[in-house]
């Protein structure tokens, strides 16, 4: 059985993660895992509380695991539990122990970080401000560096980002 290589696409709010994940999945003829947080916010009509974070990370991971069984060559993951942990530390200054275990299990063939160089766009309850976006971006880079997780920063327009990823992964 061929197992698809998982590609984590991380980044702060309004950095183009979903758009990139969907475009890459289409380009490579495979699947992508949408960010569960967006669905959670729409379903509950609110941003998550601290006690929701573990459920969000678990649900994201379960959906990723399910789609990995059907993906071809690559599975593009619009966020990962590590990003949920970054937000937990940012908003509440701490990380629940079971969520920390999800964060530690970060195991992807590639980790891409979407730069916050696209125009910031408000998106209902999920978006704070460009200042928060920049702060979360720096916290994410710091976390990746501290954990020794190699990553590739993708920048520019969607087309530029897709070309950068193609140079890493090879032609579709």
pLDDT tens digit sequence for 59-78: 999 999 999 999 999 999 99
DSSP letter, residue 13: T
- Domain coordinates in residue numbering, the chain: 5-169
Give CA–CA dist 104/110, Å, rounded. 16
| CA 137 to chain CA centroid, nearest Å | 12
CA angle at residue 15 from 80 to 125, to 5 degrees?
80
pLDDT tens digit sequence for 133-169: 999 999 999 999 999 999 999 999 999 999 999 999 9
Which CATH number is associated with domain 5-169? 3.40.50.300
Q: Tell me the pTM.
A: 0.94
Give CA–CA dist 27/172, Å, rounded. 7
Task: Label residue 103 by pLDDT band (50, 70, 90).
Answer: confident
């Amino acid at each position: 059985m061929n197992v698809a290589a998982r590609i984590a696409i991380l980044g702060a709010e309004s950095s183009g993660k979903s758009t990139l994940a969907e475009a890459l999945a289409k380009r490579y003829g495979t699947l992508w895992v949408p960010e569960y947080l967006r669905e959670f916010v729409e379903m509950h009509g609110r941003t998550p509380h601290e006690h929701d974070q573990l459920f969000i990370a678990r649900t994201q991971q379960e959906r990723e695991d399910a789609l990995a069984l059907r993906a071809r060559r690559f599975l593009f993951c619009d966020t990962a539990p590590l990003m949920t942990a970054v937000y937990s530390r940012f908003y509440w200054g701490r990380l629940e122990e079971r969520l920390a275990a999800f964060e530690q299990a970060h195991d992807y063939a590639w980790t891409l970080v979407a730069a916050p160089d696209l125009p910031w766009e408000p998106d209902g309850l999920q978006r704070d401000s460009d200042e928060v976006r920049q702060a979360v971006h720096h916290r994410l880079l710091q976390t990746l560096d501290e954990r020794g997780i190699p990553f590739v920063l993708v920048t520019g327009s969607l087309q530029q980002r897709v070309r950068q990823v193609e140079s890493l992964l090879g032609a579709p």
